[in-house]
Amino acid sequence: MYLYLDTRQSLSIRVSLLTAMGHVVRTVHIRSRQTAGGILAGISKALAAGNVSAAQLDAVVVEQGPGGFSTLRAGVSIGNAVAFALKKKCIGLVTAVEPLKMRLDKALKGRVKYAYIEEPFYGSEPSITKPRKSI
């Protein structure tokens, strides 16, 4: 069983339980301005709804992007932290490049090299402006 975190869209965050074949067992939709707290509550709800304990998870799958900066950063960070705490692998996924089922198939066959920490993929360089001059 996999814990799947999709935080690409800030107003439509999904926390799901997936089988090894990529089939969705349970999904919790989060529509909250409290991104980190909402994701953590969603993890608890998804595990409870699926009658699964955290120890039964095989890995944590996180969407790396592209998507919004804040929600991706929160989702990937929480995914890494949960995987670390459970001593499980964290599988990063860029959906636009590789579908979930294909990535899980490769992971199960040992063809994916896991990074210790997954990183967000924002889709473009940050557009940070210089501070305005005070008057």
The confidence score (pLDDT) of residue 54 equals 93
pLDDT at 126 over 80: no
d(CA 121, CA 43) in angstroms, rounded, equals 22
Largest Cα–Cα separation, the chain = 62
Structure confidence at residue 67 as a pLDDT band (50, 70, 90): confident
Domain 2-108: top CATH class? alpha beta
Of the given ranges (36-45, 73-82, 107-116, 119-128), which has the lowest mean pLDDT?
Answer: 107-116
Mean pLDDT of 61-84: 88
44: left (phi over 0), alpha (psi -120 to 50) or beta: alpha
pLDDT at 3 over 90: yes
